[in-house]
Homo-oligomer: A and B are copies of this chain.
């Protein structure tokens, strides 16, 4: 099935990114569910907010707005609400004047953040390789 052959070095390197082995046989229905869920999480802002809360712990709305560079208030509100609905984020409202709202990762969000750690590490270690690939590709296109 897998016709592509990878070097031992490549395979060994891949192993360093894996904490556990990938489950071999997954129920197709579960597979579909999971893909849908992944698609839901896999948007620009969810990943960045997850990471920001992973680093920062508990943050106020305005702190998040400052740290997540480039996000609009609308998208921040929207994404946080979806993440809260998905059980990734806990929203704590202090009914003071002016109001104060704190966001932090739930247990679910914490473990998802941990799972994303390796992707993040991969990105740190390989972003120059990606840049090189892009340059090389663009050159070939004349």
Decide if B16 touches A19 in the complex (CB within 8 Å). Answer: yes
A4-B57, A4-B104 known; 19 new pairs, CB 8 Å cut-off, are A1-B57, A10-B107, A10-B110, A14-B113, A17-B117, A18-B117, A23-B121, A30-B127, A34-B123, A38-B48, A42-B42, A42-B43, A84-B137, A85-B138, A86-B133, A87-B133, A112-B119, A115-B119, A115-B122
Q: Which residues of A contact B (CB under 8 A)?
A: 1-4, 6-7, 10-11, 13-20, 22-23, 26, 30, 32-35, 37-39, 42-44, 46-48, 51, 56-58, 69, 84-87, 90, 102, 104-105, 107-108, 110-124, 126-127, 129-130, 132-134, 136-138
Q: Report A89 CB to chain B, min CB distance, Å.
A: 10
Q: Is the CB of B133 within 8 A of A85?
A: yes
Q: Is the interface of A mostly helix, strand, loop or mixed?
A: helix
Q: How far is the CA of A32 from the CA of B48 in the complex (A)?
A: 11
CB < 8 Å: which of B30, B57, B111 contacts A14? B111
Task: State A115–B17 Cα separation when bound (angstroms).
Answer: 5
17 contacts between A and B (CB under 8 A): A1-B56, A3-B57, A4-B105, A7-B107, A10-B110, A16-B20, A16-B114, A17-B114, A22-B121, A33-B127, A34-B127, A38-B119, A42-B47, A85-B138, A87-B130, A115-B118, A115-B121
